[in-house]
Homo-oligomer: A and B are copies of this chain.
Amino acid sequence: MQFTATNDKTDAKVAIVIETPDKSEEIKGTGPKHLFLQGLAGCTGGAVLFLLQKMRTEMPSKFMVDVSGKLTTEHPMVFENIDITYRFEGNTDVETIKKAVKMSEEKYCGLTYMLSKVTELKIGILLNDKTIER
């Protein structure tokens, strides 16, 4: 089953797929819970980059946010926890990264703030593939 999602700000269309018992159906699009987490990743990722810019540090050469969630097995299937890993590459200052991530979580990304009230957020930071202790 498929929905088309639109919004009132841009002309972007997003295909949403819902898993149906008919597995022969070709899956084109993104599942609702994936979209939900992608929105979360975009929110906090955007906030982190915005904050790094504001703090006038060297910007990362590459930046990714990995988000995954563990669902309960019984209905209502909610996220028991959500892992958010920020992956930076380049020469950005470590302390500034830690500060930006913390500020995003606590104040500048409303979605992580909201979800932190109803599920456990597990935050990780990698700089050039090395874990940064928070």
Contacts and interface: CB of A to CB of B under 8 A. Distances in A.
Interface of A: 1, 3, 5, 7, 9-10, 12, 14-18, 20, 27-43, 45-46, 49-50, 65, 71-72, 75-79, 106-111, 113-115, 117-119
A53 to B, nearest CB: 9
A46 B30 contact: no
Contacts of A20: 50
Contacts of A39: 16, 32-39
Contacts of A45: 3, 18
A32 B40 contact: yes
A34 B39 CA distance: 7
How often does this chain occur in the complex, in copies? 2
Contacts of A42: 3, 5, 16, 18, 31-32, 35
Contacts of A115: 114, 118
Given A14-B30, A30-B12, A38 B35 contact: yes
Contacts of A43: 32-33, 36
A20 to B, nearest CB: 8
A48 B113 CA distance: 28
Contacts of A106: 76
A97 to B, nearest CB: 17
